C-alpha cells in the first residue's frame, strides 16, 4: 500500500470523510457490543432513541452539547493557529470559579447586567490561564502541550482547595461545594420546566461569531496565516507573537464560558464534578469538526447524543455506557484516518 | 547479458533500461535508458524538474522505479537498496553533503566501512590509504581536521574521498559545482579527469552548459522525464544543448547602459551577530542606486541569508545603520519595510508564500490591514480577488483561479505570484534573493525580464545570487560577500570572472576595510 499526496481534494470527500468515519466507528462499536453479548442494531436503536427519540431526550442532548460547543470552539480556534491548547478543562474551571465568586451575592445586580458580566469576567479568567503558557511558548519555546495539560491538574487541585476552604458552602452539609449563585445570576430556561438553558443559545451565537471572525476579519486571517506558516506570516509583516496572544485570549475565554454556562445555567453551584472532561472532549469535537466553527456545533451534538443515548441504552440493554466513550474515541481515530484520505490517495499495491 | 550496438559488454559498467517513475500525475522519469562506459564522464543535462535527481535516486536505491531495470557491471542491481548500490561499487556525492560535522575527515571517511568494535585499531592503515587516494587524485584535505572547520570545497573532496575509500567504480555527482567558486570548480574538473583516467566512470549531473561541455565525454539530455538526446560532447554547442534542454531557443537577458541616480538603500557599518556569537555580517557598507541592478556575488553560506534577513526586516543590526529612501530603518518593523521595498525571498515555499492558503489570501498578505482590502478590520474579499485576478493576468500565472491552493502550483508560477505581489505596486527599491534558483529556463527568463523592466522604470535592485552568470549578465555593479564582509562594488567595465572568483574565495578581504 502506498500513499500519494493529492493535488486537489474533491469537494465530495469533505462530506464523505466524516460520514464514512462515523460509519466505521459504528462498525467497530458493533463488534464490541456483540462481544458484550447484545444485538448491535437493537443497541444502536436504543442509543438513538435515548438521544433523540423524545422531546426530553433531544433537550437533554442539546443541554449536554452546550459546554462541548464552547470547549470545541476553544480547541478549534487554537488548533487552527497551531497553538495546542490542551488546557480547556483548567480554563473551564477558571470561568466557573469567577462565576461563583461574583455570582453568589458579591454583585447584587439585575440579571440583564449580571449575566453578561459573569460571562465576560469568566472569559477573562480563562484567557489569563492560557496567556501564561502561550507567553512561555513564544518567549522561551516551552511546549504548550505540556504546560496547558499540567495546568489542568493544578487548577483542579486549586478548585478543590477553594471548595474545601474559602468558597465552601456553610449550608452544604460538609460537601465540597460552593454556595448557589443568586437568582439574578441564573440563566433562564429556554422551555419552561426543562433543563435546556440560555447557554445553548449563547454557544450557538459564539460559533457564529467565531465563524465570522475567521472568515471575514483581519484577526481571523492573521490567526490562520500564523497557524499555517509562521515564517511566511512574519515575512509578510505580521507580529506572530502578538497574534498568538490574541488566539490565546480568544481560545481560553471560550473554554471558560463553558464553565460559566454550566454553573449559571445548569448546576447552580460549583463542585469538583462540574465537568466530566468537557475540556478534553472539546478537543475531540474540534477534530471531528475539522476545526470548522459551525462543524463544532454538529460535532458537539453528535458527541453529546452518544453519551446521553448510551446512558439510556445501558439502563435497558445492560451494555455498559462506557460504549459511548469507545464510540467517540473510535470516531476520532477514524476521523483522523478520514482526514488522511482527503490529503492522500491510496494505491493498493 | 545483452550486447550493445557500439561496445563490448565489458565496456558498459552501468546500464539503465526503461526506467519509469510517476509521482501522482507527474511522470518524473519516462522510459529512460542509458549506458555508462568504463572511463568516461557522462553528463546528465536537464533543467530543474527534468528528472535527473529522481533517476539518480532510483539508481542509488532511494526510490523504487515503477518499471525498468538496472545492471551494474553486468549484474542486476537490487532495487530500493542503497546498500546494494554501495556494494556494487556505486558512490554518490549529493548536492547536500552527508557528513558528520563534529567528526574528523578521517572518521567520516572510514565510518560505516569497518566493524564498529575494530575500526579504531585500523587508524594508521586507514590514514595511509586516505593519504594515497588524496595524493593520486588531487583531493588535498587534512584527515585530522573536523568537518565543521572545512570550507565547502573541502567538504566536497571529503565526500569524493569517502566514495573512493569504499572502492566505488562508478561515481555520481549531483550538481557538484553549485557550491563552488570558479577556481574550485576547475580543481574538481581536474580531479574528475584523473579519476576517469584510472578507469572510474562518472555521471555528472548539471544544468550548467559550459561545465558540461568542459568536463564530459558524452551528454544525455533529459527533458520532462524523457531522454531527448544522447550525443558526444565533441561537436556539441551550448546553443544546441540549451535548445534541447528547453525545447526551444532561449533568449539571453541583456541590459542597456543607463545612468544610475540617487542612493535608495544605504547600509553603513552594519554588524549582525548570530545566535552563536559569531558575526554573520561585519562592517558591511552598501549603496543601491536608482535605476541600477546591484549584484551580490558569493559562495553559498557567506552571509547572504543574514543580509537578506536584515534588509527584509526579519532581523535587526547589532551595529551600524540601514536607510531606505532617506528614512532610517535600523530598528524598523517588518511591515514598514515591506511597504517601501519589494522583497523576493530566497525560499518561496517556506517564507514567500503560505502553501495551505489560497492565492488570494497570499496576495494580500502584506496589505490586508488597510484599504482597499480592509475597513474597520473587516476584509473585503471581493477587492482582494480583483487584485489577485489582476496579478494572475498581469504576471501570466498559470493556475485554476484565485481560490486555488497555492501549494499546488509549480515553482515558476509561485515565483510569478511573489513577483506580482511585490512588484505590482512599483516599489522604488527591490531586493531579489536567489530569485531564479530552482526555476526552469522559461521562468528564469520571465524573472529576469521583470527585474529589468523595474530597472528601466528607475527602481534600484539588489540582486543576491549564487549564479555568477546571472549576475554578470544582469548587474550594473557587483559586490562580493565573503565571511560576512562585503567588497567594494566593481563597475560593469571591470567585470572579470577570474577576479570575482578569487574574491569569492576570500582574496583581498584580509584585514582590509571596505567602502561601497
Asked if residues B226 and B32 have their Cβ atoms less than 8 Å apart, the reply is: yes
Q: Is B103 a residue whose pLDDT tops 80? A: yes
Pick from A161, A183, A162, A152: nearest CA to A101: A162
Q: Which domains does chain B have, with CATH numbers?
A: 90-168 (no CATH), 263-354+411-504 (3.40.50.300)
CB of B14 closer than 8 Å to CB of B170: yes
Q: In terms of DSSP H, where are the helices of B234-325? A: 238-246, 304-312
Judged by DSSP in three states, B488 sits in coil
Q: Do A225 and B357 touch (CB under 8 A)?
A: yes
Closest partner residue to B338 (CB to CB) among A217, A225, A237 is: A237
Interface test with A, best of B25, B329, B357, B401 (most A CBs within 10 A): B357
Q: Give the minimum alpha-carbon distance from A29 to chain B in angstroms, rounded to a whole number.
A: 35
Does the CB of B361 have a partner CB in chain A at under 8 Å?
Answer: yes
The residue that leads in pLDDT, B510 or A203, is A203
For A6-25, write each residue's pLDDT tens digit: 666 777 887 788 788 888 88
> CB of A91 within 8 A of CB of A257?
no
Q: CB-based contact (8 Å) between A343 and chain B?
A: no
B497 or B456, which is more confident?
B456
Mutate to test the interface with B, among A232, A239, A342 (most CBs of B within 10 A): A232
Chain A's closest residue to B351, CA to CA, is A232
Indicate whether A319 pLDDT > 90.
no
Angle (nearest 5°) at CA B392 between B390 and B394: 60
Residues of A in contact with B338 (CB under 8 A): 236-237
pLDDT for B144: 87
Tell me what the pLDDT averaged over chain B comes to: 87
Query: For residues A194-231, b (16+ Cβ closer than 10 Å) or e, as one string?
Result: eebbbbbebbbebbeebbebbebbbbbbbbbbbbbbbb
The strand pair at B226-232 and B67-72 is best described as: unpaired
Interchain pair B350, A232: CB under 8 A = yes
B350–A contact, CB cutoff 8 A? yes
Residue B115: what pLDDT? 65
- Give the residue-averaged pLDDT of A76-102: 96
Residue with cell 567588497: B487
Task: Retrieve residue A275's grid coordinates.
Answer: 465537568
Structural domain boundaries in chain A: 38-318
Distance between A220 CA and the closest CA of chain B, angstroms: 10
Contacts (Cβ under 8 Å, ≥6 apart) of B312: A235, B334, B337, B338, B341, B343, B345, B431
Write the burial class of residue B440 (CB in 10 Å: 0-12 exposed, 13-18 middle, 19+ buried): buried
Q: Which is it for the CA torsion B145, B150, B153, B155, positive or negative?
A: positive
| Out of A306-315, B173-182, B196-205, B309-318, least confident range | B173-182
Tell me: pLDDT of B416 over 60.
yes
Q: How confident is the model at residue B252 (pLDDT cuts 50, 70, 90)?
A: low
Q: Is A224 on the interface with B (CB under 8 A)?
A: yes
Question: Which candidate from B337, B353, B368 shows the least CB-CB separation from A218?
Answer: B368
User: CB distance B365–A224 less than 8 Å?
Assistant: no
Residue in chain A lying closest to B384 (CA): A216
- Confidence grade of residue B200 (pLDDT, cut at 50, 70, 90): very high
Q: Check CB contact of B365 with chain A, cutoff 8 Å.
A: yes
The verdict on A346 touching B (C-beta cutoff 8 Å) is: no
Burial code (b: 16+ CB inside 10 Å, e: under 16) for B115-136 equals eeeeeeeeeeebeebbeebbee
**Other C-beta atoms within 10 Å of B373: how many?**
21
- The enclosing H or E element of B187 equals helix B182-197
Give residue A40's pLDDT. Answer: 87
Give the count of alpha carbons within 13 A of B92, CB side only: 23
- Cell digits of residue B387: 487584485
> In A, which residues are within 8 Å of B353 by CB distance?
229, 232
Distance from the Cα of B336 to chain A's closest Cα (Å) equals: 8
CA-only gyration radius of chain A, Å: 21
- Choose among B86, B91, B107: nearest CA to B163: B91
Exposed e or buried b per residue across B267-302, where buried means at least 16 C-beta atoms within 10 angstroms of its C-beta: beebebbeeeeebbbbbbbbbbbbbbbbbbbbbeeb
Cell of A334: 477514524
CB B515 within 8 A of CB B193: no
pLDDT at site B247: 74
Contacts of A12 (CB under 8 A, 6+ apart): none
Cell triple for A203: 454557544
Count other Cβ atoms within 10 Å, centred on residue A324. 23
The answer to whether A316 contacts chain B (CB < 8 Å) is no
Once rounded to an integer, what is the mean pLDDT over residues B420-443? Answer: 89
- The cell 512574519 sits on which residue? A234
Q: B241 phi and psi, to 5 degrees?
A: -65, -40
For residue B418, the chain A residue with the least C-alpha distance is A236
Cβ atoms of B408 and B358 closer than 8 Å: no
A228 inside 8 A of chain B by CB = yes
* CB spacing of B338 vs A236 below 8 angstroms: yes
**Could A218 and B343 be called an inter-chain contact, meaning their C-beta atoms sit closer than 8 Å?**
no
- Stated as kind and residue range, the H or E segment containing B416 is helix B411-423
Contacts of B23 in chain A (CB under 8 A): 4
Residue of A nearest to B333 (CA): A237
What radius of gyration, in Å, describes the C-alpha atoms of chain B? 25
Q: What are residue A61's phi and psi, to 5 degrees?
A: -60, -45
| B104 vs A253, higher pLDDT | A253
Closest by CA to B446, choosing from B344, B306, B295, B304, is: B344
- Worst-scoring range by mean pLDDT, B4-13, B68-77, B119-128? B4-13
Contact A224 B353 (CB under 8 A): no
The pairing of strands A344-347 and A2-5 is antiparallel
pLDDT of residue B276: 76
pLDDT for B24 beyond 80: no
Question: Residue A19 in contact with residue A342, Cβ under 8 Å?
Answer: no
The widest CA-to-CA distance across chain A, in whole angstroms, is 71
DSSP of B331-372: T--HHHHHHHEEEE-S-IIIII--TTSBHHHHHTTTTTTSTT
Q: What are the CA-CA distances from residue B430 to residues A120, A124, A198 (Å)?
A: 47, 45, 56
pLDDT tier at A87 (50, 70, 90 boundaries)? very high
Q: Which residue of B has its CA nearest to A231?
A: B351
Task: Give the Cβ contact number of residue B49 at 10 Å.
Answer: 20
B284-336 confidence digits (pLDDT tens): 999 999 999 999 998 877 899 999 999 999 999 999 999 999 999 998 899 99
d(CA B473, CA B475): 6
Please tell me the distance from the alpha carbon of residue B181 to that of residue B298, in angstroms, as a whole number: 8
Residue A134: which residues within 8 A CB-CB, separation 6 or more? Answer: A83, A144, A244, A245, A247, A248
- Binned at pLDDT 50, 70 and 90, residue B4 comes out as very low
Please check whether residue A124 touches B, CB under 8 A. no
CA distance B140 to B157: 8
Q: Which of residues 199-218 of B touch A (CB under 8 A)?
A: none
Q: What is the pLDDT of residues A119-143, one digit of tens each?
A: 999 999 999 999 999 999 999 999 9
Looking at residue A67, what is its pLDDT? 97
Of A49-53, A204-208, A231-235, B410-414, give the lowest mean pLDDT range: B410-414
Cβ distance B365 to A4 less than 8 Å, yes or no, reads no
Looking at the predicted structure, is the pLDDT value of residue B515 above 70?
no
Output the pLDDT for position B3. Answer: 43
% of chain B surpassing 70 pLDDT: 94
pLDDT tens-place string over residues B106-155: 888 888 777 666 555 567 788 888 989 988 888 888 888 888 888 778 88
**Cβ of A234 under 8 Å from any chain B Cβ?**
yes
Q: Which of A218, A225, A235 sits opposite B314 (nearest CB)?
A: A235
Q: Residue A72: which of A282, A316, A313 has the closest Cα?
A: A282
* Residue B448 in this model has a pLDDT that exceeds 80: yes
Q: Would you call A228 and B355 a contact, using CB atoms and an 8 Å cutoff?
A: yes
By Cβ distance, the residue of B313, B353, B377 closest to A219 is B377
The three state secondary structure string of chain A is CEEEECCCCCHHHHHHHHHHHHHHHHHHHHHHHHHCCCCHHHHHHHHHHHHHCCHHHHHHHHHHHHHHHHHHHHHHHHHHCCCCCCCHHHHHHHHHHHHHHHHCCCCCCCHHHHHHHHHHHHHHHHHHHHHHHHHHHHHHCCCHHHHHHHHHHHHHHHHHHHHHCCCECCCCCCCCEECCCCHHHCCCECCCCCCCEHHHHHHHHHHHHHHHHHHHEHHHHHHHHHHHCHHHHHHCCCCHHHHHHHHHHHHHHHHHHHHHHHHHHHHCCCECCCCCCHHHHHHHHHHHCCCCHHHHHHHHHHHHHHHHHHHHHHHHHCCCCCHHHHHHHHHHHHHHHHHHHHHEEEECC
Tell me what the mean pLDDT of segment B462-471 comes to. Answer: 89
A38-318 CATH fold: ABC transporter involved in vitamin B12 uptake, BtuC (1.10.3470)
Contact residues on chain B for A234, CB-CB shorter than 8 A: 314, 334
Which of chain B's residues have a Cβ under 8 Å away from the Cβ of A14? none
CA–CA dist B75, A30 (Å, integer): 55
CB atoms A225 and B365 under 8 Å: yes
Among the listed residues B217, B254, B246, B251, the one whose alpha carbon sits nearest the alpha carbon of residue B234: B217
Nearest to B351 by CA among B437, B444, B463: B437
With contacts defined as CB-CB under 8 Å, which chain A residues touch B377?
Answer: 217-219
| Cβ–Cβ gap A229/B354 under 8 Å | yes
Interior/surface letters A140-177, b for 16+ CB within 10 angstroms, e for the rest = eeeebeebbbebbeebeeebeebbeeebbbeeeeeebb
Whether residue B354 and residue A233 make contact (CB cut-off 8 A), yes or no, is: yes
Chain B residues near residue A343 by CB distance under 8 angstroms: none
CB B354 to CB A4 under 8 A? no
Closest CA to A138 of A278, A258, A297, A244: A244
- Does B148 contact A at CB distance below 8 Å? no
CB contact under 8 A, A237 and B366: yes
Task: List the 22-51 stretch of B: residues with Cβ below 8 A of A.
Answer: 23-25
Amino acid at each position: 500500500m502506498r500513499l500519494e499526496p493529492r493535488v486537489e481534494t474533491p469537494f465530495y470527500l469533505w462530506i464523505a470523510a466524516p460520514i464514512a468515519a462515523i460509519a466505521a466507528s459504528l462498525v467497530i462499536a458493533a463488534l464490541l457490543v456483540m462481544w458484550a453479548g447484545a444485538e448491535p442494531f437493537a443497541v444502536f436503536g436504543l442509543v438513538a432513541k435515548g438521544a433523540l427519540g423524545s422531546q426530553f431526550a433531544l433537550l437533554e442532548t442539546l443541554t449536554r452539547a452546550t459546554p462541548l460547543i464552547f470547549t470545541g470552539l476553544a480547541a478549534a480556534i487554537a488548533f487552527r493557529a497551531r497553538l495546542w491548547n490542551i488546557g480547556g478543562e483548567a480554563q473551564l474551571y477558571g470561568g466557573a470559579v469567577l462565576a461563583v465568586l461574583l455570582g453568589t451575592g458579591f454583585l447584587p445586580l439585575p440579571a440583564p447586567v449580571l449575566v453578561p458580566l459573569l460571562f465576560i469576567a469568566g472569559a477573562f479568567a480563562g484567557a489569563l490561564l492560557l496567556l501564561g503558557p502561550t507567553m512561555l511558548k513564544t518567549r522561551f519555546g516551552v511546549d504548550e502541550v505540556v504546560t496547558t495539560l499540567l495546568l489542568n491538574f493544578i487548577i483542579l487541585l486549586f478548585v478543590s482547595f477553594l471548595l474545601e476552604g474559602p468558597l465552601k458552602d456553610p449550608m452544604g452539609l460538609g460537601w465540597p461545594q460552593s454556595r448557589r449563585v443568586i437568582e439574578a445570576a441564573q440563566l433562564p430556561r429556554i422551555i419552561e420546566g426543562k433543563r435546556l438553558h440560555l447557554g445553548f443559545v449563547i454557544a450557538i451565537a459564539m460559533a457564529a461569531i467565531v465563524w465570522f471572525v475567521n472568515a471575514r476579519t483581519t484577526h481571523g486571517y492573521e490567526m490562520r496565516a500564523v497557524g499555517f506558516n509562521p515564517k511566511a506570516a512574519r515575512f509578510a509583516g505580521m507580529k506572530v507573537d502578538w497574534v498568538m496572544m490574541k488566539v490565546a485570549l480568544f481560545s481560553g475565554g471560550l473554554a471558560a464560558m463553558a464553565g460559566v454556562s454550566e454553573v449559571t445555567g445548569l448546576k447552580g453551584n460549583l463542585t469538583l464534578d462540574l465537568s466530566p472532561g468537557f475540556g478534553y472532549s472539546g478537543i475531540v469535537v474540534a477534530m471531528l469538526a475539522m476545526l470548522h466553527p459551525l462543524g463544532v456545533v454538529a460535532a458537539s451534538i453528535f458527541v453529546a447524543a452518544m453519551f446521553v443515548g448510551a446512558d439510556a441504552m445501558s439502563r435497558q440493554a445492560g451494555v455498559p455506557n462506557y460504549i459511548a466513550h469507545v464510540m467517540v474515541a473510535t470516531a476520532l481515530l477514524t476521523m483522523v484516518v478520514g482526514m488522511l484520505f482527503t490529503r492522500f490517495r491510496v494505491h493498493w499495491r | 547479458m545483452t550486447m550493445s550496438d557500439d561496445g563490448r559488454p565489458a565496456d558498459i559498467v552501468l546500464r539503465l533500461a526503461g526506467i519509469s517513475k510517476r509521482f501522482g500525475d507527474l511522470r518524473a522519469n519516462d522510459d529512460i535508458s542509458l549506458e555508462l562506459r568504463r572511463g568516461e564522464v557522462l553528463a546528465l543535462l536537464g533543467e530543474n524538474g527534468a528528472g535527473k535527481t529522481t533517476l539518480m535516486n532510483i539508481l542509488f536505491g532511494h526510490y523504487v522505479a515503477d518499471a525498468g531495470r538496472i545492471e551494474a557491471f553486468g549484474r542486476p542491481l537490487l532495487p530500493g537498496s542503497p546498500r546494494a548500490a554501495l556494494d556494487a561499487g556505486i558512490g554518490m556525492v549529493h548536492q547536500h553533503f552527508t557528513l558528520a560535522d563534529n567528526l574528523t575527515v578521517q572518521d567520516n571517511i572510514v565510518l560505516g566501512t569497518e566493524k564498529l568494535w575494530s575500526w579504531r585499531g585500523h587508524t594508521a592503515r586507514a590514514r595511509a590509504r586516505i593519504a594515497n587516494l588524496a595524493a593520486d587524485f588531487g583531493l588535498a584535505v587534512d584527515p585530522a581536521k573536523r568537518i565543521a572547520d572545512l570550507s565547502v570545497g573541502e567538504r566536497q573532496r571529503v565526500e569524493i574521498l569517502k566514495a573512493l575509500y569504499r572502492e566505488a567504480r562508478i561515481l555520481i555527482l549531483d550538481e557538484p559545482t553549485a557550491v563552488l567558486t570558479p577556481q574550485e570548480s576547475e580543481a574538481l574538473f581536474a580531479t574528475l579527469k584523473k579519476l576517469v583516467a584510472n578507469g572510474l566512470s562518472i555521471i555528472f549531473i548539471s544544468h550548467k552548459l559550459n561545465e558540461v561541455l568542459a568536463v564530459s565525454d558524452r551528454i544525455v539530455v533529459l527533458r520532462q522525464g524523457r531522454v531527448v538526446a544522447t550525443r558526444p560532447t565533441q561537436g556539441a554547442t551550448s546553443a544546441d544543448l540549451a535548445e534541447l534542454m528547453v525545447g526551444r531557443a532561449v533568449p539571453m537577458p541583456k541590459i542597456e547602459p543607463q545612468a544610475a541616480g540617487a542612493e535608495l538603500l544605504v547600509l553603513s557599518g552594519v554588524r549582525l551577530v548570530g545566535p552563536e556569537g559569531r558575526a554573520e555580517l561585519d562592517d558591511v557598507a552598501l549603496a543601491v542606486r536608482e535605476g541600477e541592478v546591484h549584484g551580490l556575488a558569493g559562495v553559498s553560506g557567506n552571509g547572504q541569508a543574514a543580509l537578506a534577513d536584515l534588509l527584509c526586516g526579519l532581523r535587526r543590526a547589532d551595529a551600524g545603520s540601514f536607510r531606505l529612501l532617506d528614512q532610517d530603518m535600523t530598528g524598523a518593523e517588518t511591515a514598514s519595510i515591506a511597504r517601501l521595498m519589494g522583497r523576493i525571498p530566497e525560499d518561496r515555499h517556506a517564507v514567500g508564500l503560505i502553501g495551505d492558503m489560497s492565492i488570494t489570501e497570499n496576495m494580500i498578505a502584506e496589505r490586508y490591514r488597510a484599504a482597499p482590502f480592509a475597513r474597520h478590520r473587516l476584509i473585503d474579499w471581493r477587492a482582494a480577488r480583483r487584485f489577485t485576478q489582476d496579478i494572475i493576468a498581469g504576471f501570466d500565472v498559470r493556475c485554476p483561479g484565485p481560490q486555488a491552493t497555492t501549494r499546488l502550483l509549480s515553482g515558476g508560477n509561485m515565483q510569478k505570484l511573489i513577483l506580482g505581489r511585490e512588484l505590482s505596486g512599483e516599489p522604488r527599491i527591490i531586493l531579489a534573493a536567489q530569485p531564479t534558483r530552482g526555476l526552469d529556463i522559461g521562468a528564469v527568463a520571465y524573472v529576469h525580464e521583470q527585474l529589468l523592466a523595474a530597472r528601466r522604470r528607475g527602481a534600484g535592485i539588489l540582486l543576491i545570487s549564487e549564479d555568477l552568470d546571472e549576475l554578470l549578465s544582469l548587474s550594473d555593479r557587483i559586490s562580493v560577500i565573503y565571511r560576512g564582509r562585503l567588497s567594494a562594488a566593481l563597475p560593469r567595465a571591470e567585470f572579470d570572472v577570474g577576479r570575482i572568483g578569487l574574491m569569492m574565495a576570500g582574496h583581498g578581504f584580509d584585514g582590509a576595510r571596505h567602502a561601497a
